[in-house]
């Protein structure tokens, strides 16, 4: 697992996410847009670096589409084997917006923004071409920011309705703890007891979620909110990736009809369907030699 040390990519660096046999997610370091009232950006000023495989990236991609920002915020989506973190454009040079420079790998964008950066290179990344720097590599902040600059347009939803703030916070915390992050804690666990505890937590969360969705079109209301934006990416990856590769197979989604219905309903929305590619998602995980030493890619899964 590579990372950057003093602004240089180091391939054989120790995986700093593993601590005493447990997976511990690292905090994002670029947080310039965190809860700051944003000005309306100029078209082309901001660029979203994303990845087809990453569920955190898909959050930002969905929010960008829901808020009608496709023409305002440009985007590139990486896919394929994870070489030097993320290859921006499948190994080809990619022009960095607002500069006369090109980059092949996302760590070059990190270095341009912070020359002595130390840490992992993750997506999504919101790049400001005017300031020539990364505004954020934290998906929740990027989703919030997209909502702020797009919610004034007619026909776009408000992903963060103020009257639902307590419910949104409670739901998102439970999903993060019990599903979104827990599948990685289970899949990367280096101790049997750690794995079992996390796998059981994932199963219990899915059973709870299936009950919550018994009489709802969306998670909290009759409209899409940030809770749906956060929930759908891990669900879309569950059967093909998390269940077999991360060994989270105690409660297969096919046994949870309300979740299956919810997935199908959400995928009827073009803003969501256009941000997901199952094949490209699988490649990002199954070509990870640590997780899958033989690098074989499963043919499934079939539709739920």
Are residues 41 and 99 located together in one domain of the fold?
Answer: yes
**pLDDT over 80 at 91, yes or no:** no
Residues 124, 170 within the same domain: no
Of 105, 128, 150, which one is at a domain's C-terminal end?
150
Same domain for 17 and 107?
yes
In a domain, 301, yes or no: no
The verdict on 186 and 104 lying in the same domain is no
Would you say residue 25 has pLDDT above 60? no
Query: What's the average model confidence in pLDDT over 79-108?
Result: 87
For residue 38, say if its preceding peptide bond is cis, omega within 30 degrees of 0.
no
Pairing mode of beta strands 102-103, 125-128: unpaired
Same-domain pairing of 246 and 182: yes
Q: Does any domain span residue 225?
A: yes
Q: How far apart are CA 190 and CA 169, in angstroms?
A: 31
Q: Which residues contact 283 (CB under 8 A, 6 or more apart)?
A: 53, 79, 80, 81, 297
> Residue 118 — very low, low, confident or very high, per pLDDT cuts 50/70/90?
confident
- Please state the rounded mean pLDDT for residues 33-38: 62
Q: What is the pLDDT of residue 304?
A: 55
184 catalytic, yes or no? yes
In this structure, what token pair is assigned to residue 129? 């071409």
Answer yes or no: do 7 and 145 share one domain: yes
Clarify whether residues 267 and 190 are in a common domain. Answer: yes
What is the domain extent for residue 116?
Answer: 3-150
Say whether both 131 and 88 belong to one domain. yes
**7 and 142 belong to one structural domain:** yes
Query: Above 70 in pLDDT, residue 22?
Result: no
CB-based contacts of 294, cutoff 8 Å, min separation 6: none
75 pairs with which residues across the strands?
A: 48
The average confidence (pLDDT) of the chain is 89
Inside any domain, residue 295: no
User: Has residue 155 been placed in a domain?
Assistant: no
What secondary structure letter does DSSP report for 254?
G
Residues 215-265: tens digit of each pLDDT = 888 999 889 999 999 999 999 999 999 999 999 999 999 999 999 999 999
Share of residues in the chain with pLDDT > 70 (%)? 88
Does the active-site annotation cover 227? no
Q: How many domains are contained in the chain?
A: 2
Residue 65 lies in a domain: yes
User: Worst-scoring range by mean pLDDT, 7-11, 91-95, 131-135, 160-164?
Assistant: 7-11
Residue 250, domain CATH: 1.20.1050.10
Q: What is the CATH number of the domain that holds 132?
A: 3.40.30.10
One of 184, 242, 262, 286 is an active-site residue; which one?
Answer: 184
- 56 and 9 in a common domain: yes
Catalytic pick among 54, 227, 248, 260: 54
């Amino acid at each position: 697992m590579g990372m950057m040390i003093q602004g240089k990519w180091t391939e054989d660096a120790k995986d700093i996410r593993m601590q005493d046999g447990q997976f511990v997610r690292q905090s994002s370091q670029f947080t310039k847009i965190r809860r700051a009232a944003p000005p309306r950006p100029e078209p082309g000023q901001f660029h979203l670096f994303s990845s087809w495989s990453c569920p955190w990236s898909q959050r930002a991609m969905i929010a960008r589409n829901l808020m009608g920002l496709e023409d305002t915020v440009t985007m590139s989506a990486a896919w394929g084997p994870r070489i030097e973190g993320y290859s921006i454009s499948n190994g080809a040079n990619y022009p960095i917006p607002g500069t006369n420079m090109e980059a092949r790998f996302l760590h070059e964008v990190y270095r341009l923004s912070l020359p002595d950066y130390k840490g992992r290179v993750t997506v999504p990344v919101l790049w400001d071409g005017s300031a020539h720097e990364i505004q954020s590599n934290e998906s929740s902040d990027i989703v919030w920011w997209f909502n702020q600059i797009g919610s004034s347009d007619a026909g776009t939803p408000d992903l963060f309705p103020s009257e639902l703030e307590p419910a949104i916070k409670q739901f998102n915390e439970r999903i993060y703890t019990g599903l979104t992050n827990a599948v990685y804690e289970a899949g990367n666990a280096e101790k049997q007891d750690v794995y079992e505890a996390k796998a059981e937590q994932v199963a219990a969360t899915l059973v709870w979620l299936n009950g919550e969705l018994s009489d709802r079109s969306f998670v909290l209301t009759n409209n899409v909110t940030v809770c749906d934006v956060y929930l759908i990416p891990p669900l879309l990856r569950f059967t093909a990736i998390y269940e077999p590769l991360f060994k989270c197979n105690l409660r297969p989604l096919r046994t949870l009809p309300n979740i299956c219905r919810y997935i199908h309903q959400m995928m009827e929305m073009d803003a969501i369907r256009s941000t997901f590619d199952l094949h490209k998602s699988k490649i990002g995980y199954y070509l990870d030699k640590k997780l899958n030493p033989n690098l074989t890619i499963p043919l499934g899964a079939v539709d739920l």
